[in-house]
Amino acid sequence: MRGWGRAAAAAMAGLFLVLLPPAPAGAQTVRWAAAGDPNTMDPHSQNVGTVTMMLQQIYDPLIQRNADLSLRPGLATAWEQVQPTRWRFTLRQGVRFHEGEPFTAEDVVFSILRAQQPTSNFNIYVDSIERVEKLDDHTVEIVTKVADPILPNKLASVFVMSKSWAERNNAARPQNTRAREEMATVRQANGTGAFRLAQREPDVRTVLRRNAGWYGWTEPGVQQGNVAELVFRPISSDATRVAALLSGEVDFVLDPPLQDLNRLRGAPNIRVLEGPEVRSIFIAMDVFRDELLYSDVRGRNPFKDLRVRQALYHAIDIQAIHRTTMRGFSVPTGTFFPPQVNGYSEAEDVRLPFDPNRARALLAEAGYPNGFGVTLDCPNNRYINDEQICQAIAAMWTRVGVRTQVKAQPLAPFFAQIQRDDTSIYLLGWGVPTLDALYSFQSLLATRNGAQGDGIWNYGRYSNPRMDELVERMKTQSGEARMAAIREALRLYREDVPHIPLHHQMIPWAMRQNINIPHAANNQPYWRYARVD
């Protein structure tokens, strides 16, 4: 048998193990894990947290964020609004990409155009940009279609890649995940960031090494950063991920399961860091079709009736979900973005009370005295306890007569499905990387009209002319007028019930005691600010 030869070879090799050089371990290697693996390394293809958490270590935007999410200079050292629709950015000099290309204004122009391509999923950050002008090698000016007061916030999410590298590698436009394209950027990355991509095996491991030449290492607030190597491994099973941390095989878990936090807190050498996340969980529904795809109601769409939406809202016992399903790790809310976001108003953050009788009455009033049946679409590995939340809600709705079947699936097929509008009602979580309310209103509630960024995540196809008007005002106005528009839109959100809001997520990170990393409310570990003792 061939196995014998192999075993003998292995035994022989075992003898030489001591002679092999030790792994480049040491205190500064951090092994971290999360449930999901980034599905591409393309900086402008997939705007999802699992991809960004890796790419933001490798690529720099013009403007970076501190761990408290405030802005700091990145590839641009200074920026100013020279005219209402014109911003000037002074670029950092002497920066090189990981593969040696010098960083110039050309790369900025190229990257912004690339992010505007139809195959990009980052349109929303560059939708207001009319054109980018290169003044000289280290100055660019961005001309916006209308005055865009939050452009710097948006640009903090747009990674800059090398024009010459992208063109050389046939990656001048973002990878189109729908068309099953293979491009260099699926597996390779070449940024200017604090870490360079050293090894990438999808689903297995991603290794990043410290970019010693990174300009930021000497800046205040970053000097303590001493991580030399980052080894990321996706571990999809909750139990295995926790076991790996407890047994010391990984140093950091981005998404420890809530049910295991007590045990982790009690374990020696392990620390749990917790904080709010800028992400809100809600339920959205098809309010467009005349007949729902996945319901037993024929000839009409119950969700078009405000009373039905209110009834489903009244039926949810959010405190029970908060206590039991979320084990206290949530902030129940009546709106769809948290207080850290510009435009948040406590006065509008009021829930419809939990009232099953009122829910039954509203359903009867709307013409559904016996309720109806519907399928609730739900991811099962995207948000904290997403499937469990859906199941709890299904039980609550069923109790008031809306017989709910939960269809839970992994995030890839789930998103593929709802992005085809192939759903009747679904659970979604929404983070706000720009920390401004416009991002939420524009993506989730604006009418999908072909304009860049409008309604691109509005899969229930909610459409209200007044809301669209307010979104337009948020895009162009500034100061008090803008805040007034946001406040009115929030009021409209409460009255119109386009979503059933649930809660803002709280996020725990679990790590070994020797790791010091500031908690970030966007759930992005900034390893450049981390210190390992």
**Interface positions, 201-230, toward another protein (CB under 8 A):** 201-204
Residue appearing with tokens 């709106």: 335
Tokens at residue 198, please?
Answer: 């050293």
Distance, CA of 101 to CA of 39 (rounded, Å): 26
Q: Which stretch binds another protein (CB under 8 A): 142-150, 295-303, 305-313, 401-409?
A: 401-409
Q: Which of 10, 19, 212, 347 binds another protein (CB under 8 A)?
A: 10
Residues in the chain, how many? Answer: 533
Q: Which stretch binds another protein (CB under 8 A): 91-99, 216-224, 303-311, 385-393?
A: 385-393
Q: Which of 408, 451, 483, 492 binds another protein (CB under 8 A)?
A: 408
Tokens at residue 175, please?
Answer: 């990878």
Residues 48-107 that bind another protein (CB under 8 A): none
Q: Which of 78, 82, 239, 484 binds another protein (CB under 8 A)?
A: 239
Return the SS3 of 208.
strand
Q: Which stretch binds another protein (CB under 8 A): 71-79, 173-181, 281-289, 492-500?
A: 173-181
Distance, CA of 2 to CA of 368 (rounded, Å): 69
Measured from the CB of residue 382, what is the shortest distance to another protein in angstroms? 14
Which CB, 128 or 385, lies closer to another protein?
Answer: 385
Measured from the CB of residue 164, what is the shortest distance to another protein in angstroms? 23
Measured from the CB of residue 373, what is the shortest distance to another protein in angstroms? 11
* Dihedral-angle region of residue 435 (phi above 0 means left; psi in -120 to 50 means alpha; beta otherwise): left
By CB under 8 A, is residue 237 in contact with another protein? yes
Secondary structure of 218-238 in the HEC alphabet? Answer: HCCCCCCCCCCEEEEEECCCH
Distance, CA of 123 to CA of 388 (rounded, Å): 32
By CB under 8 A, is residue 357 in contact with another protein? no
**In the chain, helix, strand, coil percent, each to 5?**
35, 25, 45
| Residues binding another protein: number (CB under 8 A) | 73
What torsion, rounded to 10 degrees, do the Cα atoms 435, 438, 439, 444 define? 140
C-beta of residue 254 within 8 angstroms of C-beta of residue 525: yes
Q: Which of 398, 447, 463, 477 binds another protein (CB under 8 A)?
A: 398
By CB under 8 A, is residue 111 in contact with another protein? no
Measured from the CB of residue 492, what is the shortest distance to another protein in angstroms? 29
Per-residue binding string, another protein, 450-489, x by CB under 8 A, is ----------------------------------------
Residue appearing with tokens 């970019």: 211
Q: Which stretch binds another protein (CB under 8 A): 149-157, 220-228, 259-267, 295-303?
A: 259-267
Measured from the CB of residue 391, what is the shortest distance to another protein in angstroms? 5
Return the SS3 of 88.
strand
Measured from the CB of residue 140, what is the shortest distance to another protein in angstroms? 32
Per-residue binding string, another protein, 280-299, x by CB under 8 A, is --------------x-----
Distance, CA of 25 to CA of 228 (rounded, Å): 9
Handedness of CA 390, 396, 399, 400 (dihedral sign): negative
Q: How far is CA 394 from CA 252, 282, 402, 426, in A?
A: 34, 14, 8, 12
Tokens at residue 94, please?
Answer: 């002497």
Q: Which of 244, 435, 437, 471 binds another protein (CB under 8 A)?
A: 244
By CB under 8 A, is residue 40 in contact with another protein? yes
What torsion, rounded to 10 degrees, do the Cα atoms 28, 34, 37, 41 define? -40
Q: Which of 420, 449, 479, 480 binds another protein (CB under 8 A)?
A: 420
Q: 11, exposed or middle or buried, with CB in 10 Å at 0-12, 13-18, 19+? A: exposed
Measured from the CB of residue 359, what is the shortest distance to another protein in angstroms? 13
Distance, CA of 439 to CA of 445 (rounded, Å): 10
By CB under 8 A, is residue 395 in contact with another protein? yes
Q: Which stretch binds another protein (CB under 8 A): 57-65, 132-140, 275-283, 400-408?
A: 400-408
Q: Which of 399, 473, 494, 519 binds another protein (CB under 8 A)?
A: 399
By CB under 8 A, is residue 320 in contact with another protein? yes
Distance, CA of 242 to CA of 257 (rounded, Å): 8
Measured from the CB of residue 288, what is the shortest distance to another protein in angstroms? 15
Element (H, E) at 415: helix 411-418
Q: Which of 20, 70, 94, 479 binds another protein (CB under 8 A)?
A: 20
Q: Which stretch binds another protein (CB under 8 A): 206-214, 278-286, 398-406, 509-517?
A: 398-406
By CB under 8 A, is residue 513 in contact with another protein? no
Give residue 266's identity as a one-letter amino acid code: G
